[in-house]
């Protein structure tokens, strides 16, 4: 059997999949904040309880909000900053007494959806996380493509393309943790969505509350989701112009906004070279569990 671990900024989830991909165990615990050793211990506890539940030792794969540097072997680019600079796979492997395979969480989502999810059977799947943060991952024939620098798919930390004056105003006031200007993360993450509403309309609401107002016909909320859809369309058009994947699969909180699957593909055509775009844009079949399932499928 296979254990998958999803190491998130606020929670750590573990699942066990049998050889048919059926989930036979799941547990979530809070992520110890700014505590590297505490994070390792929490993962070990999850693995111990998972193996006790299924009665055998399993392989372990883990998705993280960053990547392992092929140069140093240590974590880089993690927004859970206490992981950066740590040899996470080696430390966890020593604690568990076996090899642990680690990949970026968006890559894990892409693998999960390519193996038996919404992108099953597709040669190249681009996986997108639009939740608290914003990330991308690439799966080719059901396997992670991480690239020579370990950053393939790090789409969320490229600048929003074809910016308007309104976009530039947004970027001046909302900054990315990575320190670079105009990252996609500040525009099309779930956090970026509600911060845009706060910036433009002077009221602090979270995403579900904004969408509830959209349903009620609120003009400010409607303007906010339209800005979001336009920005997401430009961002995804840049992926099509670069990779032209066979499918784009969306995960994270904003992936639950059903109207984007109708509106964004139409908006993308304006920005894709040649004015044609039939790339399927689909919701992750396994929702919030896609990343953790993909981590298990790393074996």
Entry pTM:
0.88
Q: Which two tokens stand for residue 108?
A: 């894990």
For tokens 């970027």, name the residue.
171
In the chain, what are the domain boundaries? 2-104+289-296, 118-283
Instruction: Please tell me the distance from the alpha carbon of residue 251 to that of residue 62, in angstroms, as a whole number.
Output: 17
Provide the pairing of β-strand 143-144 with 134-140.
Answer: antiparallel
* Listed ranges 123-132, 139-148, 218-227, 287-296; the one with the highest mean pLDDT: 218-227
CATH number given to 2-104+289-296: 3.30.420.40
Distance of alpha carbon 185 from alpha carbon 29, whole angstroms: 26
pLDDT digits (tens, 9 = 90+) for 69-122: 999 999 998 878 899 999 999 999 999 999 999 999 899 999 999 999 999 999
Is it true that domain 118-283 has CATH number 3.20.20.80? no
- Tell me the pLDDT tens digit for each residue of 242-258: 999 999 999 989 999 99
**Do the domains 118-283 and 2-104+289-296 match in fold?**
yes
pLDDT digits 0-9 by tens, 153-207: 889 999 999 999 999 999 999 999 888 899 999 999 999 999 999 999 999 999 9
What local confidence, expressed as pLDDT, does residue 122 receive?
96
Task: Grade residue 61 by pLDDT with cuts at 50, 70 and 90.
Answer: very high
- C-alpha to C-alpha distances, 276 to 72, 165, 229, nearest whole angstrom: 42, 26, 18
**The predicted structure's pLDDT at residue 81:** 87
3-state secondary structure (DSSP) of residue 74: coil
pLDDT reported for residue 26: 95
């Amino acid at each position: 059997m296979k254990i998958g671990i999803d190491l998130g900024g606020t929670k750590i989830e573990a699942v066990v999949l049998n050889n048919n991909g059926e989930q036979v165990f799941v547990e979530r615990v809070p992520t110890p904040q700014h505590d590297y050793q505490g994070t390792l211990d929490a993962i070990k506890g999850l693995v111990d309880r998972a193996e006790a539940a299924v009665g055998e030792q399993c392989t372990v794969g883990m998705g993280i909000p960053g990547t392992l540097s092929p140069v140093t072997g240590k974590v880089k680019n993690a927004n859970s900053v206490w992981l950066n600079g740590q040899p996470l796979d080696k430390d966890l492997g020593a604690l568990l007494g076996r090899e642990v395979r680690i990949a970026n969480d968006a890559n894990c989502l892409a693998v999960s959806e390519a193996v038996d999810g919404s992108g099953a059977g597709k040669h190249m799947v681009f996986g997108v996380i639009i939740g608290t943060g914003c990330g991308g991952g690439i799966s080719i024939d059901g396997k992670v493509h991480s690239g020579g620098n370990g950053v393939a798919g790090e789409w969320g930390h490229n600048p929003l393309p074809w910016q308007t004056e309104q976009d530039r105003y947004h970027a001046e006031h909302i900054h990315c943790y990575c320190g670079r200007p105009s990252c996609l993360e500040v525009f099309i993450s779930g956090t970026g969505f509600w911060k845009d509403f706060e910036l433009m309309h002077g009221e602090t609401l979270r995403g579900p509350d904004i969408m509830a107002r959209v349903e009620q016909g609120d003009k400010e909320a409607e303007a906010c989701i339209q800005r979001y859809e336009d920005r997401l369309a430009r961002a995804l058009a840049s992926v099509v112009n670069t990779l032209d994947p066979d499918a784009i699969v969306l995960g994270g909180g904003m992936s639950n906004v059903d109207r984007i699957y109708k509106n964004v593909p139409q908006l993308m055509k304006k920005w894709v070279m040649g004015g044609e775009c039939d790339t399927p844009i689909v919701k992750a079949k396994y929702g919030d569990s896609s990343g953790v399932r993909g981590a298990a499928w790393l074996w």
